Amino acid sequence: MIAVLKDCYREGMTRALILLAAVGVLAGCGGGSSGPSAERTVVTGFYPLAWAVRQVASQDTEVVNLTPAGAEPHDLELTPRDVTAIRDADLVVFVSGGFQPAVEEAVAERDGSSLEVLDGLSDPHVWLDPSRFAEVVREIGAALGRPAAAAALADRLLALDSELRRGLAACDRHSIVTTHSAFGRFAARYGLTEIPLTGRSPEAEPTPRQLQRIVERVRRSGATTVFTEPLVSDRLARTVAREADVEVAVLDPLEGLSEERLAAGEDYLTVMRSNLSVLREALGCR
């Protein structure tokens, strides 16, 4: 009886060893690589660029957004970890023009590939013009070797551009009063006039005399709404709206989305369409 048990034990061990060997052979097969596929890391300055890269990149690409969800990206301060991420990334996608000076400085110190999407133009808010953003997406696709994926996303952006042009083609008013000068490209694209309360940085504060001039300009423009932003204080906008006797609404420059909004499924396309709806109501579009 003991001899029989020993024979069964030897047979079981032999089968187990054969099975393990077969698994090892199969694991070694597949494209000549003995290990897992190496990931590519792309570092981006803030939300719209991160969104575009994620849409275009392959699944094995890690996309790092330097600006935390819900944070305002202007004058972002980099941590040592951020600087290391920029240095070691396979690609960095960023906007120049002083939009994020710390990112520009860190990129200047790296040796790897970088994609600057402003191309010498003065207004860094390229993503608020979907037609220009489509060009940026194609540049990202070329840098990642993913032209087909980029072309598909570019088509969606051009469809959005058509929606915006149709939706803003026939309006009673054409002036948009914004918290800071983020919508210049957008306004130029769709036949509007932007009246910003501050310059490129939303944290700037006008002097009392400048504030009075802004209020007077808002009154003359016939605008019925002053637009606030989700990521910055609405105090100045509400002051101007009160002095000019107009309404307040939210127009999102899409410089970042909070964790809650991302979890709710909001993204670049949904927010741009929400902006269109808000503008159509404020401008009296038909």
Last residue of a domain, one of 164, 197, 218: 164
Does any domain span residue 63? Answer: yes
Does any domain span residue 242? Answer: yes
Other C-beta atoms lying within 10 Å of the C-beta of residue 30: 9
156 Cβ contact list (under 8 Å, min separation 6)? 269
Check: pTM over 0.95? Answer yes or no. no
The CA-to-CA distance between both ends of the chain, in Å, stands at 94
Does any domain span residue 4? Answer: no
Does any domain span residue 28? Answer: no
Of 132, 95, 282, the closest CA to residue 192 belongs to 282
Of 93, 200, 204, 188, the closest CA to residue 138 belongs to 93
Q: CA-to-CA distance for 238 and 228, rounded, in angstroms?
A: 8
Does any domain span residue 268? Answer: yes
Q: Specify the number of domains making up the chain.
A: 2
Q: CA-to-CA distance for 165 and 160, rounded, in angstroms?
A: 9
Asked if 124 and 174 sit in the same domain, the reply is: no
Residue 156: give its domain's CATH number.
3.40.50.1980
Last residue of a domain, one of 164, 187, 219: 164
Asked if 135 and 217 sit in the same domain, the reply is: no
Q: What is the DSSP letter of 115?
A: E
pLDDT score for 266: 98
Asked if 82 and 160 sit in the same domain, the reply is: yes
- pLDDT tens-digit profile, the chain (286 residues): 434 333 443 444 444 433 334 433 333 333 333 334 548 999 999 999 999 999 999 999 999 999 999 999 988 999 999 999 999 999 999 999 889 999 999 999 999 999 999 877 789 999 999 999 999 999 999 999 999 999 999 999 999 999 999 999 999 999 999 999 999 999 999 999 999 998 776 767 888 999 999 999 999 999 999 999 999 999 999 999 999 999 999 999 999 999 999 999 999 999 999 999 999 999 999 9
Last residue of a domain, one of 143, 164, 185: 164
Of 199, 276, 280, 272, the closest CA to residue 236 belongs to 199
Residues facing 193 on adjacent strands: 175
Q: Do residues 160 and 272 make contact, with C-beta atoms less than 8 angstroms apart?
A: yes
Which residues constitute the domain of residue 193? Answer: 170-283
Asked if 157 and 189 sit in the same domain, the reply is: no
Other C-beta atoms lying within 10 Å of the C-beta of residue 212: 12
Residues facing 64 on adjacent strands: 43
